Amino acid sequence: MNNELLHHLEQRINNAVEEISSLRQKVSELEMKNYELSEEREELRAGLNQKSEQQSSWESSLNQMLDRLNQLDK
């Protein structure tokens, strides 16, 4: 009976060790995916900021041109 109990406990321990190993692998994969997504997010933010600055610059230029046209009309 003791041998059966020990064998059963050994199986449960081995299963738990395998499960822990599997979970560690999943955590590692998720951490890598999180890193990749963070990098992608930062690239997108930089691109968005650049486009926003470009739009502001264009709007400013257009406003300056409109002001000059308005002054010419006066």
Tens-place pLDDT, residues 7-65: 999 999 999 999 999 999 999 999 999 999 999 999 999 999 999 999 999 999 999 99
> Coil, strand, or helix at residue 74?
coil
Q: What is the pLDDT of residue 46?
A: 98
Q: What is the pLDDT of residue 74?
A: 72
Q: What is the pLDDT of residue 9?
A: 96
Q: Is the pTM of this model over 0.95?
A: no
Q: What is the pLDDT of residue 48?
A: 97
Query: In degrees rounded to 5, what are phi and psi of residue 53?
Result: -65, -40
Question: Measured between alpha carbons, how far is 11 from 55 in angstroms, rounded to an integer?
Answer: 65
